Amino acid sequence: MRCLERGFVVWLTGLPASGKSTIAQLAAARVREAGVRAEVLDGDWVRSTINTDVGFSREDRRRHLLRVAWVARLLARNGVAVFAAFVSPYRDVRAEVRRIVEEEVPFFEVYVKVSLGEAVRRDPKGLYRRALAGEVKNFTGVDDPYEEPESPDLVLVNEGVSVEVSVGRLLGFLADLGVLPKF
């Protein structure tokens, strides 16, 4: 397994259940198969390990994401391809994340786009159902906003296409930019 001369951070943002983590995991696996070090930072994993002290208020979400930005930057500056999958609902916080990472390594904001109806239909953890019933507060897309990116580096419409298509588009985008070899 080799490190890249210069790593990078792909920040996948979108509604809960949009497919961010699935795309990140599959993309990282393909990158590893090509012999390149890759790491996935996933919202659920980070909250259960590194950021156990943060909730879902706006300020807690900000603190959570800024910590992740520093971890992603550290990995990437050491030659790792980082795929960070986080709802990251607020534009201003995503801009802060970008500033932190781009001081040292390339950063790509990827909007994994699905309709709210599709996200509710998928709902693998039953969180939309619970939020709509009032059991979960500050849930993005229900009683807390998701601010769509205004100028993402890439939009992956992950509805009506296979996840393999979305992963292929992402890896093709990165190869076209020259940060990864062609797949």
**Catalytic site positions:** 88
How many CA atoms within 13 Å lie on the side-chain side of 82? 28
Quote the CA–CA distance of 3 and 121 in Å, as a whole number.
39
Structure tokens at 29: 């696996």
Residue with tokens 């190869």: 175
**Residue 85: CB partners within 8 Å, gap ≥ 6?**
12, 20, 21, 23, 24, 40, 41, 42, 43
CB atoms within 10 A of CB 171: 20
CB atoms within 10 A of CB 179: 18
SS3 143: coil
